[in-house]
Amino acid sequence: MMNISAAAKASGLPTKTVRYYADVDLVPAPARTEAGYRAYDEASVRKLIFVKRARDFGFSIEECRSLLGLYQDDHRTSAEVKSLAQKRLEEIEQKQRELQSLKDELTRLVTACNGDHRPDCPIIDYLS
């Protein structure tokens, strides 16, 4: 059993975040010491690491909750997991398309702008 900062270090998360995950019941501490300190075991640390990876992939806390449920469920099917990952992939692709058209438009404006000391600016003109 380790205390919260050891669990945080082992999972690569800030202590505050580990406490937060316990608060929202995503990865609760499996036990408390006499003094009320959270005590984490190996299994919980693995869950913290799992959640950190999933968060880095952009899964929301609620999606992490689902994934964690599947992670702990020996009877899960890979189809269930794949479906969540595919949903996330589509979100990423949608975001990419949005960013690209944004970038194209902004690039055109930046290119058209002299960027000198004069007040004439196609960017401002476009926004107006």
Residue 46 interacts with a copy of itself (CB under 8 A)? yes
Rounded CA gap, 8 and 89, in Å? 28
Question: Which one of DNA, a copy of itself, none interacts with residue 34, CB within 5 to 8 A by kind?
Answer: DNA
Residue 87 touches which of a copy of itself, DNA, none (CB < 5 to 8 A by kind)? Answer: none
Burial of 105 (0-12, 13-18, 19+ CB in 10 A): exposed
- Please give the residues from 76 up to 115 whose contact with a copy of itself meets the rule CB under 8 A: 76-79, 81-83, 85-86, 88-89, 92-93, 95-96, 99-100, 102-103, 105-107, 109-110, 113-115
If the CB atoms of residues 2 and 122 are measured against DNA, the closer one turns out to be 2
Residue of 44, 50, 47 whose CA lies nearest to 2: 44
CB of 46 or CB of 55, closer to DNA:
55
Output 43 or 112, the one with its CB closest to DNA.
Answer: 43
Measure the CA–CA gap between 87 and 103, rounded to whole angstroms: 24
Residues that bind a copy of itself (CB under 8 A): 46, 49-50, 53-54, 57-58, 67, 70-71, 74-79, 81-83, 85-86, 88-89, 92-93, 95-96, 99-100, 102-103, 105-107, 109-110, 113-124, 126-128
